[in-house]
Amino acid sequence: MNISFRQLRLVLALAETGSVSAAARVMHVTQPTASMQLKDVADTIGLPLYEVVARKVYLTETGAELARTARAIAGEWDSFEQRVDALKGYTRGKLRVALVSTAKYFVPRLLGSFCQRYPQIDVSLEVLNRDGVVARLRNNLDDMYVMSTPPMDMDLVDEVFMANPLVPICASANPLTRKKSLSLADLAGQRFILREQGSGTRMAVDNCFKKLKFRPDLRLELGSNEAIKESVAAGLGISVISRHALQGNARAHGVAVLNVAGFPIDSHWHIVHPKGKKLSPIASIFKAHLLASA
């Protein structure tokens, strides 16, 4: 098949933007030119790449497979460019990292020190819930991923690099704060505010409660640590969240950490990427930086 590298980049842009016009802007061409190039690729393959339903672009099975191939080729080319730059004494290129939302409390600081050392590196940082990060991991969209609960059904390179203790919190005015020690049974009369189903924190908390045969009285399920802290501070209930989400100062958020037997729940942060994926030189350097800094 006679398909150019630039045409493959266009197919990849279409997959990532979901729009022919947006893909054209990414590739700095007009929309008619992009449409013509995509038609040429489809004609060369002999199968359609996408279909338009209700003015929205959907990749066909062939289009999705070609996009995966284009992504792999583009990744290899980027790695080659980085290796050539390294031979010339340069350290530059693009780093793509996806992380779960709770990791946003510390990864940017580690990334900042990395960028100070390598100022010519461009960084793409995706902050999503766990399901979003796992989806990007399955599609191999980034160099690496930071999460607390990697999927068990994927063959991954998985390295633990930092503790992620999960602690129980309540409003600063809650009478429970006056008790020096508590058991989980002491929390039986409290309403709970927990992270949404599917989040790494929720999975760890549910596993802990199941082992201890404790059934929380659930009032709210929320999708962000900020919303949980605000709700707890307002007296709507108690919660269990990552100590990182408190940023070292629970009082500033209007909450207090409770001393409950069996807590904190042991959890850890993981750096993962698909097994067999060859990290770019920049990604390898950043991974080493994370492990050393943590």
Claim to verify: residue 191 and residue 256 sit in the same structural domain: yes
Claim to verify: residue 15 and residue 56 sit in the same structural domain: yes
Q: Is residue 171 over pLDDT 70? A: yes
Claim to verify: residue 220 and residue 232 sit in the same structural domain: yes
CATH number of 43's domain:
1.10.10.10
pLDDT more than 90, % of the chain: 64
Number of structural domains in the chain = 3
pLDDT more than 70, % of the chain: 98
Claim to verify: residue 139 and residue 210 sit in the same structural domain: no
Q: Is residue 206 over pLDDT 80? A: yes
Q: Is residue 176 domain-resident? A: yes
DSSP states of 231-292: HHHTTS-BEEEEGGGGTT-SGGGTEEE--BTT-SBP-EEEEEEETT----HHHHHHHHHHHH
**pLDDT tens, residue by residue, 9-45:** 999 999 989 899 999 998 999 989 999 999 999 999 9
Claim to verify: residue 186 and residue 257 sit in the same structural domain: yes
Q: Is residue 75 domain-resident? A: no
Claim to verify: residue 274 and residue 143 sit in the same structural domain: yes
DSSP states of 113-145: HHHHH-TTEEEEEEEE-HHHHHHHHHTT-SSEE
**Residue 173 dihedral angles phi and psi, to the nearest 5°:** -90, -5
Q: Is residue 36 domain-resident? A: yes
pLDDT average, residue stretch 216-229: 93
Claim to verify: residue 12 and residue 25 sit in the same structural domain: yes
Cα–Cα nearest to 176, from 267, 265, 263, 266: 263
Claim to verify: residue 56 and residue 194 sit in the same structural domain: no
Q: Is residue 274 domain-resident? A: yes
Q: Is residue 44 domain-resident? A: yes
Q: Which residue range forms the structural domain that includes residue 53? A: 5-67
Confidence of residue 115 (pLDDT cuts 50, 70, 90): confident
Claim to verify: residue 128 and residue 62 sit in the same structural domain: no
56-59 and 50-53: which strand pairing? antiparallel
Q: Is residue 109 domain-resident? A: yes
The whole-number pLDDT of residue 88 equals 64
In this prediction the pTM is 0.72
Q: Is residue 161 over pLDDT 60? A: yes
Q: Is residue 42 domain-resident? A: yes
Q: Is residue 239 over pLDDT 60? A: yes
Claim to verify: residue 245 and residue 108 sit in the same structural domain: no
pLDDT average, residue stretch 265-283: 91
Q: Is residue 150 domain-resident? A: yes
Contact (CB, 8 A) for 110 and 290: yes
The whole-number pLDDT of residue 105 equals 92
166-171 and 255-257: which strand pairing? antiparallel
Claim to verify: residue 237 and residue 194 sit in the same structural domain: yes
Conformation bin of residue 53: beta by default, left when phi > 0, alpha when psi is -120 to 50? beta
pLDDT average, residue stretch 172-201: 91
CATH number of 98's domain:
3.40.190.10
Claim to verify: residue 178 and residue 242 sit in the same structural domain: yes
Q: Is residue 281 over pLDDT 90? A: no
Q: Is residue 87 over pLDDT 70? A: no
Confidence of residue 90 (pLDDT cuts 50, 70, 90): low
Confidence of residue 150 (pLDDT cuts 50, 70, 90): very high
